[in-house]
Amino acid sequence: MKRSFAGKTDTGLVRSVNQDSYYIDSDGRFFIVADGMGGHAGGQEASRIATQAIQSYLLEHWEGPEDSPLLLEKAFLIANQAILTDQLDHPERADMGTTAVVLMFRDENRPWCANIGDSRLYRLHGSRLEQITEDQTWVAQAVKRKALTPDQARSHPWRHVLSQCLGRDDVREIDILPVDVQPGDRLLLCSDGLTEELSDPLIASPLKSIRACEGAATALIQAAKDKGGRDNITVVIVTIDLK
């Protein structure tokens, strides 16, 4: 399954510090986006620690006996513990945490994704954009219960309240699922700095019209900035190449 890929991150127009982190494996085997929180230094450190811990664990155990879901789960739990340890060493960062979303190509023709928090994975199949991950937020749960409509959720004052993130000793559930992909599909990992500014149709537009991954990533970040750029913006695009 050949693929092309690119990633970009931007501080945006309001924040002074970029608390997002991302990593692209040089061989295109896995991709990570993390969005930190907990003050300037805390958020930066949380996303950096998580990205580095997940990256290191996946690389070290890539050829190991664990199946892919277990490998991802262990990588996330190791990252969570790394942040907890840093919190103990640096009490000034005790409230830091981070989201994380990972896309991994380890099994033949069946990638897997894992996420915690509200960074997202999307798939563009033909002209249809589909959100693969489910936000772990208060408003997402309210929409699921039909207590809020999706339109109400987009502007709700609690829309940033996470129900899960890395950096907490009560981490209960990491969402891990296989991703169905076909040649020509595009996959997008992103922080909420993109999805807060752009509706799904506005996200889909450059993914459909700009074939180069780097060009599409640049266009998405610029579109989010044109809409206000109120948060850090990170995007990673993976295209499943046509045979």
The confidence score (pLDDT) of residue 226 equals 98
Query: How many helices (DSSP H) and strands (DSSP E) are in the chain?
Result: 7, 11
Nearest C-alpha neighbor of 111 from the set 101, 97, 100: 101
pLDDT in tens, 150-207: 766 677 666 777 889 999 998 978 999 999 999 999 999 999 999 999 999 999 999 9
| Interatomic CA distance for residues 90 and 197, integer angstroms | 33
Torsion (CA) 233, 235, 37, 140 in degrees, nearest 10:
100
| Interatomic CA distance for residues 206 and 12, integer angstroms | 19
- Helix/strand/coil for 100: strand
- Helix/strand/coil for 94: coil
The beta strands (E) that lie in 144-196 are given as: 175-178, 186-190
Residue 56 β-bridge partners: none
Residues 6+ apart with CB under 8 A from 214: 6, 8
The confidence score (pLDDT) of residue 157 equals 67
pLDDT in tens, 103-130: 999 998 799 999 999 999 999 999 999 9
- Helix/strand/coil for 191: coil
pLDDT in tens, 49-107: 999 999 999 999 999 999 999 999 999 999 999 999 999 999 999 999 999 999 999 99
Residues 6+ apart with CB under 8 A from 213: 4, 5, 6, 237, 238, 239
User: Would you give the end-to-end CA distance of the chain in angstroms?
Assistant: 9
What is the CA 3 to chain-centroid distance, rounded? 19
